[in-house]
Structure 1
Amino acid sequence: AGSFPEVHALAKADPAAAGAKFGNPKKQANSPWTFAVRLKGKIVAANTQSRAATMDVDADGDGKADARVQIGPAMRGTALRDSLDFIQFNDFTNQIDFAQFGKAFNIHAD
């Protein structure tokens, strides 16, 4: 994982370069990059009304949110699964199995 400011800046300027440096090199060709980052900052907002709770983090000290972090207990999406370079779509029988693994991985991480 790279630092959030470094990965974010490079991803905005050149997504392919950011993917080559910080992304999963084994991703499917047509899928978007998923980056693992280290984030430090101040929590500026939290939404805990939903089971898919989030917090907004100011990473650069300007008082505005730079990143939104899922804090659960329900985790949406497949970013955790897709950031792993040792798990690939072709390792599964079909798309349903791959999706079920992603859901199970989110539950385990929570």
Structure 2
Amino acid sequence: MSTPRDDEPDYRFTLANERTFLAWIRTALGLVAGGVAVHQLVPGLSTSAARTGLAVLCLSLAAILALTSFPRWRRVQTAMRRGDPLPRSPLLIVLTVGILLITVFAGVLVISG
């Protein structure tokens, strides 16, 4: 019975994986900032409930990204160490759909305001 490989990947791949993780975290931080800003700094944008809804969308997507980015980094790192194919991630679809929803919601608020 063979044991799984655990080779140290080329440092460039490890650093690229880390940069990707940090990009997910930066995106989450941007969404947090956007959610707080839309709720606190643009009182003229539609109703309070609509601003709260948009802020909640931003903050929810930020939480999903922050929660899932580290496990994704770990899965990719483990796959590289073992020489396995890189795992697929539903995070790209979640982020795309989430940003689309936020954009459409914000667009409707701007147009109707």
- TM interval, shorter chain, is under 0.3
Larger Rg: 2
Q: Which has the higher helix share?
A: 2
- Name the one with the larger strand percent: 1
Task: Give the structure-2-normalised TM-score.
Answer: 0.27
Task: Identify the structure with bigger relative contact order (alpha carbons < 8 Å, sequence gap 6+).
Answer: 2
TM-score of the aligned structures, taking structure 1 as reference length: 0.28
